[in-house]
């Protein structure tokens, strides 16, 4: 199978994620979209590794997973805390900076 197709898939996934981050209000969904973008990037890395015949891309995919895991921990904690204090998971409600 032509590896370029994986790259197309990766680009589509990244675009869906990016659009989701920009248009959705629910913090959980925004969060999931970010994960989607990270995984799209991972897919691209692995594909490049396969195309070039070395392991560097795959190693970076592992790094990305570790970073994503940490980010999930911190991000979910923030979302839960905001939900507790504001009774809402909408990102638009957390816009104190503009006032």
Contacts to another protein by CB under 8 A: 18, 21-23, 30, 91-92, 94-99
Q: How far is the CB of 1 from another protein (least distance, A)?
A: 27
Closer to another protein by CB, 5 or 15: give it: 15
Q: How far is the CB of 22 from another protein (least distance, A)?
A: 5
Give the DSSP letter string of 3-66.
THHHHHHHHHHHHHHHHHHHH--BHHHHHHHHHHHHHHHHHHHHHHHHHHTSSHHHHHHHHHHH
Q: How far is the CB of 89 from another protein (least distance, A)?
A: 12
């Amino acid at each position: 199978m032509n590896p370029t197709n994986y790259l197309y898939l990766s680009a589509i996934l990244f675009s869906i994620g990016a659009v989701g981050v920009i248009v959705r209000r629910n913090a959980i969904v925004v969060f999931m979209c970010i994960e989607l973008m990270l995984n799209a990037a991972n897919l691209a890395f692995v594909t490049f590794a396969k195309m070039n015949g070395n392991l560097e891309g795959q190693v970076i995919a592992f790094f990305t997973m570790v970073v994503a895991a940490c980010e999930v921990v911190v991000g979910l904690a923030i979302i839960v805390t905001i939900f507790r204090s504001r009774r809402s998971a909408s990102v638009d409600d957390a816009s104190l900076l503009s006032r």
